[in-house]
Structure 1
Amino acid sequence: MDAMLVIALVFTLLILVFIVKGLMIVQQSEAVVIERLGSYNKTLTPGVNWVIPFIDKPRSIKVRRYQAIGGENVAIVQEETRIDRRETVLDFPGQSVITADNVSVTVNGALYFQVIDPERAVYQTENLIQAIEILAKTSLRSEMGKMELDKLFESRQEINDKLQLVMDEAGNKWGVKVTRVEIQDILIPTEVEDAMRKQMAAERERRALVLRASGEREAAIAKAEGEKRSSILVAEGSKEAAILMAEGQRKAIDEVLSAGDDRLDPQLVIGYLLGLEYLKTLPDIGKEGDRIFLPFEASSVLGAVGSIEALLKGPGK
């Protein structure tokens, strides 16, 4: 009886050990690929899972990471049985890239990815992180090698979008979703940087000269336009003044002729009016000096004034 009890206890203990040994707790955002006798069996999801001890084993995945050792990023390959399904950033070190115009630059990039299918991530590539990194580097060299240095700085987003398309297409095979690719730094040689700085200074000077010349041209055009409009206005004013003066003289001639009852010669009337205007200017002429010299023709003009006045007064007036 005691032997049977001991056997039962041992058997119960073995069952408990077997059950406990088969329990596996998977954390949230993790996954574990299980193989049974060397073949894929299932993928464990977050929570409490049970596998058959000694028969079901988790398949490890190789992960390549970078660690700062002695001031340098050193690649370290690790094997892990738990696959992290969170978005992960791969900050691969700077690499040399030759542009289309044969300029060697150093580019630092960052790649963000997420494991979507743990089974493919384990079985489709020997080292997932290394495969992603090498593909990112080669794709980066290919895309940047098609561009010249000047266009390289203004086309970062274009390069990022093209790299993401290439990486996402390859990542589908590996069970990985590449969310985005970012170019962090583009380092150029010192002599090229100095040449670009001089080129930019010359370009700014050229633009300043163009703007200054354009401003002077517009100012000259505006000045000429103003002078043109001023000349037009002066000419129009002179024209209107001449018309008004002529109208006034015509009315004066008509009034004098009407007052003379058609006994006056029009030429004599014109001389009369000119004489009146001449007499009006004499006071102003006298202000300019003590002596006044009158032209000989003034006597005839003044005589016309006297003749017209005598005719207008009539005999006996």
Structure 2
Amino acid sequence: MDGSVIGLVVLVAIAVAIVYILRKSIVMVRGDRTMVVERRGKYHRTLTSGLHMIAPFIDRVQAHANQREQVVTIQTQTLATSDGGQVTIEPSNVSYAIVDPHDTDTADPTVVEELEAAVTTALDQLASSMSEAQFYTVSHQLPARLTELLNESAPRWGVRVTSVQLGHIRVP
């Protein structure tokens, strides 16, 4: 091979390497998402919407988080009241938004499981503190109270509960 062919091959290899490194360095984040970046396996930063540069081979996009409001459906629950009665709540919806993707990503178990458990526990506590009649009477106040209770724990999971919609409440 003559020198110009070898030079051309080296030039093409360098160009391919530069394009590859640039491709790994530039990250585009859509408007409704965020990305968690880890550097050497530890949290480094959170990328919001827009064009970002990361250090290739050192930084790694660990997680993508959807910033839009999301809904979790809580299955039908039968709760015991303080007077020994039972109240059944049809499926309910909990709306939440991710406010800290790093905490959401590291939450174990998942945010959905945590919210389901928190709603179940909160409803059990509320039902056991009042009679059947009281529970039914204050049922219109329960969504606001549940939202307040959930937002006390939600920051640990990196979310904010925006609303709770209870299904039909049946008193046997």
TM-score (norm 2): 0.87
Classify the secondary structure of the residue corresponding to 1:89. Answer: strand
C-alpha deviation, 1:149, in angstroms: 1.5
Pick the aligned partner of 1:58 from 49, 61, 68. 61
Runs of 4 or more, structure 1, over 3 Å off, are none
Residues 233-281 of structure 1, C-alpha deviations (whole Å, 9 max, x = no match): xxxxxxxxxxxxxxxxxxxxxxxxxxxxxxxxxxxxxxxxxxxxxxxxx
Classify the secondary structure of the residue corresponding to 1:28. Answer: coil
Does residue 41 of structure 1 match 2:44? yes
State the alpha-carbon separation in 1 of the partners of residues 142 and 65 from structure 2: 30
Residues 145-172 of structure 1, C-alpha deviations (whole Å, 9 max, x = no match): 2121222222123222221221111112
Structure 1: tracts of 5 or more residues without a match: 60-80, 193-317
Does residue 84 of structure 1 match 2:87? no
State the alpha-carbon separation in 2 of the partners of residues 12 and 134 from structure 1: 54
C-alpha deviation, 1:124, in angstroms: 4.4
Classify the secondary structure of the residue corresponding to 1:147. Answer: coil
When you count helix as a share of all residues, which structure comes out higher? 1
Pick the aligned partner of 2:7 from 1, 4, 26. 4
Structure 2: tracts of 5 or more residues without a match: none
Classify the secondary structure of the residue corresponding to 1:82. Answer: strand
Q: How many matched pairs? A: 168
Match of residue 95 from structure 1:
77
Give the partner amino acid of 1:104.
Q
RMSD: 1.8
CA contact (8 A) 2:86 2:132 kept: no
Higher relative contact order (CA 8 A, sep 6+): 2
The structure with more radius of gyration: 1
Match of residue 128 from structure 2:
145
CA contact (8 A) 1:144 1:159 kept: no
Q: How does 1:107-118 map to 2 (within 5 A)?
A: 107=89, 108-118=91-101
When you count strand as a share of all residues, which structure comes out higher? 2
Match of residue 154 from structure 2:
171
Match of residue 130 from structure 1:
113
Give the partner amino acid of 1:110.
N
Pick the aligned partner of 1:19 from 19, 22, 25. 22
Does residue 106 of structure 1 match 2:109? no
State the alpha-carbon separation in 1 of the partners of residues 21 and 155 from structure 2: 38
